[in-house]
Amino acid sequence: MDVAIEESWKEKLHEEFDKPYFEELIEFVKQEYKTQTVYPPGKLIFNAFDSCPFDACKVVILGQDPYHGPGQANGLCFSVNDGIPKPPSLLNIFKEVHEDTGVPIPVSGNLQRWADQGILLLNSTLTVRAGEAGSHQKKGWETFTDAVIQRINDEKENIVFLLWGKYAQDKGSIIDESKHHVLKAKHPSPLAAKWGGWFGSKHFSQTNEYLTKVGKEKIEW
């Protein structure tokens, strides 16, 4: 199957595209876009990959579903389009960035600038029906994104994986921590942050310390 995805990822993942589960997934997704309102826009389904080629990837942040409100999802986990109010989890991320590194909370919640610096902002499920969180789970996306993580784990070294919350940590259980740097914290959602384990995690400064140690350029958060 010919998939419109960035060339380096197409090369790494071509075997997945010809598997029966992926063909069934794409048929399901096509039908959903024809009959329902689905986010993100079709051209942005693989935006995380298009914005961060395989060789450029040095950090991975794992999310779960795209946002399911109008105009929010842009194919990058936790990110929203310019001009869209920041969802609570994203605002808590920015608050922790500020407390950890001193970087001011930005006006825009668009994390494209992170992706452009080598952060793969990967949702486990890449599409969602409007207003229905989790509506495209267990259709095949999780199998595909597991394969993405496995490929990064096997073929790269010294990647920083940021795993926020139990879902991301369970999905990241396949990561070889002797090859990569895995940082875990509570999810930045308001409820989880309220009970502790998100604020003060200092993942952003720790990420840059590790990247510097292994000779990679720091992230401008």
Q: Is it the case that residue 110 has pLDDT exceeding 80? A: yes
Q: What is the pLDDT of residues 69-85, one digit of tens each?
A: 999 999 999 999 999 99
pTM strictly above 0.95 = yes
pLDDT of residue 216: 98
Q: What is the pLDDT of residues 116-139, one digit of tens each?
A: 999 999 999 999 999 999 999 999
Mind giving me the DSSP string for 44-80? GTTHHHHTS-GGG--EEEEE-S---STTT--SSTT--
pLDDT of residue 194: 72
Active site residue 65: yes
**Catalytic residue of the set 65, 100, 116, 170:** 65
- Expressed in percent and rounded to 5, the helix, strand and coil fractions of the chain are 45, 10, 45
Check residues 35 and 192 and name the one with the higher pLDDT. Answer: 35
